[in-house]
Amino acid sequence: MRSEIFINPNYSYFKDFVYQIPKNFNSLGDIVHAGRNEVRIVNVNGISLVIKYFKQISLPNKFVYAHIRKSKARRAYEHSMFLLSKDISSPEPVAYINCLKNGLLYQSYYMCLYTNYKPLEELLILPVTESGEALKAFAHFSYRLHKAGIFHNDYNVGNVLYKLKENGYDFSLIDNNRMKFHRYNYYKGIKNMNRLDIPIGCLGIIASEYAKEANASEIKTLNAMTLARLIYLEKMAVKKGIKFLKKLILQY
């Protein structure tokens, strides 16, 4: 098996550790997420690192990611570096690894620094009286992100992290392998927020602040966000229905 390994020059001292990840991953650190992908936190020389293993790669994608498109790990690395260059917070990338065999991608890993920021979903369980200012700050962050031409294709309450600092709330993006970069458009910005599972009371605050930034109607913006969310949920329901039917068909 051949490995393609790229290490952030700022963290070249992790070279020996990085090169051993494909062989040692299952015994490293603590699992914090296990599913289609697996995420572990490890401590190396007193520094906490996050390693994401992109486990399930379909046969077509094994070929595509080896010859046509950049792997998810490489895109996560490059997109995160791009965000940082635009003064958008994201855990600093350390390395990515692609393991290939017979011209196909079999394993892919992405490593970054650990951050103690909390997921946005934890903010949503608080009363609006406590979370209101943070929600307003999130709306301003979202607009700044979109205005910069950055559209995270999995912009949800788990992939946006937050932290209260002395100068206000700061937000950070993770799971950055799926992104698009193009000129800002109000409706594209609204649509990009359709994966946010946010109570209507909280969404009203976000819509109001986003509308002010975009110089748009607050009611129009709230209606547009609500409609975009409903369309997304309907689309997901149809997808689940199709998958269920496929399973039934395959059983017979």
pLDDT at 28: 95
Q: Could you tell me the residue range of the domain that residue 194 belongs to?
A: 118-236
pLDDT at 248: 46
For residues 22 and 99, the answer to whether their CB atoms sit within 8 Å is yes
The H-or-E segment that residue 119 falls in is strand 118-119
* Domain co-membership, 59 together with 86: yes
Whether 187 is covered by a domain: the verdict is yes
Whether 28 is covered by a domain: the verdict is yes
* Domain co-membership, 6 together with 96: yes
Whether 248 is covered by a domain: the verdict is no
pLDDT at 178: 95
DSSP string over 90-109 = -PPEEEEEEEEETTEEEEEE
- For residue 85, count other CB atoms closer than 10 A to its CB: 8
Q: Tell me the average confidence (pLDDT) per consecutive run of 10 residues in the chain, 252 residues long.
A: 93 96 94 92 96 91 93 97 97 97 94 97 91 96 97 97 94 97 96 95 96 97 96 88 57 50
Give CA–CA dist 220/76, Å, rounded: 34
**Structural domains in the chain (count):** 2
For residues 162 and 117, the answer to whether their CB atoms sit within 8 Å is yes
For residues 80 and 111, the answer to whether their CB atoms sit within 8 Å is no
pLDDT at 239: 80
Query: Residue 68, class by beta-carbon neighbours within 10 Å (0-12 exposed, 13-18 middle, 19+ buried)?
Result: exposed
137: left (phi over 0), alpha (psi -120 to 50) or beta: alpha
Query: Residue 199, class by beta-carbon neighbours within 10 Å (0-12 exposed, 13-18 middle, 19+ buried)?
Result: exposed
pLDDT at 55: 86
CATH number at 99 reads 3.30.200
pLDDT at 250: 52
